[in-house]
Chains A and B, each alone.
Chain A
Amino acid sequence: MARIRAFPHLVASDASVAWSGWLRRVGDAVVALPTQVEGWDYAQSLDLETEVWVDAQEFVESTGLHDLSEVRLVATVDCPSTNQRHLSITPLTEFLARSQRHVTIHIPSGSVANDINLAVHIALASDMQRQEDGLTASEAGARLASSPTTRVYLEGSASRFPTEAISFSAAQMEEAAWSIRIRFDDLRESFAGSVRLLLNSDHPVGSRLASMDETVYGAVASFLRLDIIRALLGAVADHLTETGLDQLPLDEDSIGAVMSELCVHYLGKDFVSVAELRRSDPARFERVLQEGVGISIGAPR
């Protein structure tokens, strides 16, 4: 399904565009791109591709664009860690004329680290004559369709929640088993750079969590998860501006976007609703949170 926010112009219908998973070209072979790439290192470049199906007639009807000459397919690779974006731009008319409907993108060696976000967009490259209906996209850059974002982890620990084992006593911190450190000024800041689970290496529970001890992990993982999500919700709710979260342009890796995902995933609600519940009925918020995240003893969910 196409991912489109409410825009001031007509966008492509879901029926007009279909996306597929990402593939990696290794020599002459093309293999499915896994969520966690094994054996990758900085010396390797990455050649990625994905197939896109565009029903030209349906696309024209839904967007109102009868001239596709300025429409572009844009593959993007964003690396939050290196703060780099790679693009591959193909004219839609050229793409439609091909027998192979693949979009490809090359990522030079050494330019990405930790994890990358992949997506394909369809957008206007240049201004077009404004149509009488006033709704058809005419402004350069107008987004017409966007694929879901695919996150791929390139380095070993990138897929884990940002975690660090430290001696709380050496850091002059109280002897808790864990602590959640959340530091950000803006909801658009990187989640991974803003949030850290600190495990106390001096504490019998903290140190065994750090070493992924199965018994301790199974016993407290759900409480830990609950604690983390509660702390995150609180910190982000305190920063929520009156404009609301959904109206801000948020990158996939931003703390605002990750919190939105967490709210939907665990609580089945949008973030603004969750923040309002937390403010108006704290006790019910706790129950909803506990029900959504789940309390269990045993293997973590």
Chain B
Amino acid sequence: MSSRVYPRLPNADARLLAEELREASLSGLDAVREFVGASHPRAATVPTGGRPASESEILQVRQAVLADVGEWVDGRVLPRRVQPEFDARLGNALHMALEIIPADAAHEETWNFLTLVLLPDVALTRFPTLTEERALGGQRNVLRRAWSRWDILGELLMRGSPLLGEDELVGLLERTAVARNRSLVKALAERVLNYQGARARSEYARDLYKRVRYRTGPLMLDLYSSADLDDLITLESNACA
């Protein structure tokens, strides 16, 4: 049940904190962990709507995330081959533990707090340079991106060998015309995961997404049943396989 709202850290404060964390990370993750907390003097929850998460609930979120991805949060560079699994498990853990109202998750400042106050060591494990777009709570923020992907795709992120890769996910979800049709997104993801053709899967995925995206112009795919979507995707898949 999504019912909680979390403290929001203004961007200006987040930018300064991110800089401090980047500096601390040069001394190792233990130095970063000294910044970890369940509150920040400049952060506050939205005054209307939702139940503010208590400090103990906020700390439980940290524990839940570390239970799922903590094995990698050890100061070493996260191997590239592990990144999709790390992101999927992070997204799952956040989705389960945060119980956040989607409207609160839509605000950058919420993710500023979660990333830089509650889970800075996790963020730095995934993106060691913690650039602004990964640190601050925009669409490419390390935690927001993982939460959002799980929100849309769920367990599909844990399926397949290999798991859906970064290019495949970006192509699928960062196109708003397609991304809000969740049945379509899931059907496309399943098709990509099941691809067994000769081409590189990510190339096939790119072509498939593009062909389907063009169909969203004259066709309102929101009216399609799952069988209709399967038929359409099969047609487009055959054309680009």
Contact residue among A110, A186, A249, A253 (Cβ-Cβ distance under 8 Å from B102): A110
Listed residue (B152, B179, B219, B221) with the most chain A CB atoms within 10 angstroms of its CB:
B219
A123 and B177 contact, CB distance less than 8 A: no
- Scoring A residues 248 to 275 as 1 if CB is less than 8 Å from chain B, else 0, what string do you get? 0111011000000000000000000000
- Contact A249:B223 (CB < 8 A) given known A78-B180, A85-B181, A110-B102: no
- Contact A249:B216 (CB < 8 A) given known A110-B50, A110-B101: yes
A140 and B223 contact, CB distance less than 8 A: yes
8 contacts between A and B (CB under 8 A): A83-B148, A84-B102, A114-B106, A141-B220, A142-B218, A165-B12, A166-B11, A249-B217
Binding site for B on A (CB under 8 A): 5, 7-9, 41-44, 72, 74, 76, 78-85, 87, 89, 109-114, 121, 123-126, 139-143, 164-167, 170-171, 183, 185-186, 188-190, 193, 201, 249-251, 253-254
Q: Once bound together, how far apart are the Cα atoms of A7 and B223, in whole Å?
A: 18
How many chain-B residues does the 8 Å CB contact rule pick out?
Answer: 43
Nearest 4 pairs between A and B by C-beta? A42-B49, A41-B48, A141-B219, A81-B106
Q: How far is the CB of A277 from chain B (nearest CB, A)?
A: 27
Specify the main secondary structure of chain A where it touches its partner.
loop
Residues of B within 8 A of A166 (CB): 11-12, 15
Q: Once bound together, how far apart are the Cα atoms of A253 and B19, in whole Å?
A: 31
- Contact A170:B221 (CB < 8 A) given known A85-B180, A112-B103: no
Residues of B within 8 A of A186 (CB): 174-175
- Scoring B residues 114 to 151 as 1 if CB is less than 8 Å from chain A, else 0, what string do you get? 00000000000000000001000011000000001001
Q: Once bound together, how far apart are the Cα atoms of A112 and B48, in whole Å?
A: 14
Interface residues of B in 187-241 (CB under 8 A from A): 213-214, 216-224, 228
Residues of B within 8 A of A44 (CB): 49
Q: Once bound together, how far apart are the Cα atoms of A7 and B177, in whole Å?
A: 17
B56 contacts the other chain (CB 8 A): no
A87 and B218 contact, CB distance less than 8 A: no
- Scoring B residues 16 to 43 as 1 if CB is less than 8 Å from chain A, else 0, what string do you get? 1001000000000000000000000000
| CB nearest neighbor in B for A121 | B220
